[in-house]
Amino acid sequence: MEYRVDFKYKVLSLALAALFFWGCDAGLIDGGGDIDDNTSEPPPQVTLPTLVTLEVEDIGEKSATSGGNIHSDGGSAVTHRGVCWGTSANPTTANKIVESGEGKGLFSASLTELEPGTTYHVRAYATNSKGTAYGNNISFKTIEEDSTDPNPTDPPQTPDPLVDSRDGNIYQTVQIGPKIWMAENLRFLPSLSSPSISSNSDPHYLIYDSEETDVELGKLEENYNKYGALYNWSAAKQSCPAGWHLPTDNEWLSLISALGGELVAGGKMKESGTQHWQSAATGSGNNESGFTALPAGAYDPSSLTKFSYLYRSGFWWSATEDGPESANYKYIDYNSHKINSHHIQKKNGYSVRCVKD
């Protein structure tokens, strides 16, 4: 009987010893570091940036303007960005390039030393630690050389007011950079929508803080006469008078560049004083540009109040879409000299400034 008990103990001891050595070898005993390594999340994978090329604007005989919009940096900082161009489709950085800073977001670039009457292809590019990615290919043709007028004059610096033949509204205008802009918010009002109804596709016209749906009564309201109408993106796209249009991202960038860049352009665009803008210790405007930006506020159908930011911020649509249901816009705050860029659902209501064709 004693022999059987001793034998059982010996077998059990050998089994425990084998288990101990297996556990040590597998890392289950004495720290178990391998277990933590196997269950930890892998580091995020870096991918190439994603971006689009902006439409080519301001096409002349020997120059043009393009740019890009970098939606994602791929998990690694964008260290180089710009546009590349050539006479063949899908140019790369091995062709001619012009760099335009770093980081995500919108940027513009001027193409120079082009040949008159020549077809070019342009793509935006962005580089991170993974490599270089490109936007879509866009082609354009420079203007033919005009031998009869080798030194054409610039457009007038003090353009005439715009008279809208549809409703008789008169708008002051201003030239900023190469473009002529409305110096007032658009007041075109073919109909009035209830703030309780919104749409990403059907055009809607509104007046700040108003539920009025009768156009003639709406035109008597103070906010309409001071700040103009608010438009969802579909309405904004079709509301500029003949010969004028809703500005693209590239046209906004051209204006901002002419005023010294986004960090200071807003201050030069804002109406001076506190008649309409809320008072601020910093960021007050001087309207050096003549744009006369006003804080008309915004319509947000998802908010309880529907309307907000009157006296504090001005918002203006861009014609450039960000997706099937969203589009880009610019905004200026009362306490900053900066003009900002963002995107939002098309059903929101913002002001409109038209630019001449």
**pLDDT tens by residue, 34-69:** 444 555 667 789 999 999 999 888 888 888 889 999
Task: Please give the Cα distance from 91 to 96 (Å, whole number).
Answer: 8
CB 169 within 8 A of CB 314: no
Give me the phi and psi of 119, to 5 degrees please. -85, 130
User: Which pLDDT belongs to residue 44?
Assistant: 82
**Integer distance in angstroms from the first to the last C-alpha of the chain?**
109
Q: Which residues contact 220 (CB under 8 A, 6 or more apart)?
A: none
Closest CA to 195 of 211, 184, 171: 211
Give percent above pLDDT 90 in the chain.
74
pLDDT confidence of residue 49: 96
CB 67 within 8 A of CB 100: yes
Phi/psi at 91 (5° precision): -65, 160
**pTM of model > 0.85:** no
DSSP string, 185-243: -----S----TT---SSS--EE-TT-----HHHHTTSHHHHHH--EE-HHHHHT-SPTT
Residues of the chain with pLDDT under 50: 1-5, 7, 9, 11, 18-36, 147-156
Q: Where are the domains of the chain?
A: 50-141, 162-356
CB contact set of 114 (below 8 Å; sequence gap of 6+) = 61, 62, 63, 64, 120, 142
* pLDDT at residue 5 in the model: 46
50-141: which CATH topology?
A: Immunoglobulin-like (2.60.40)
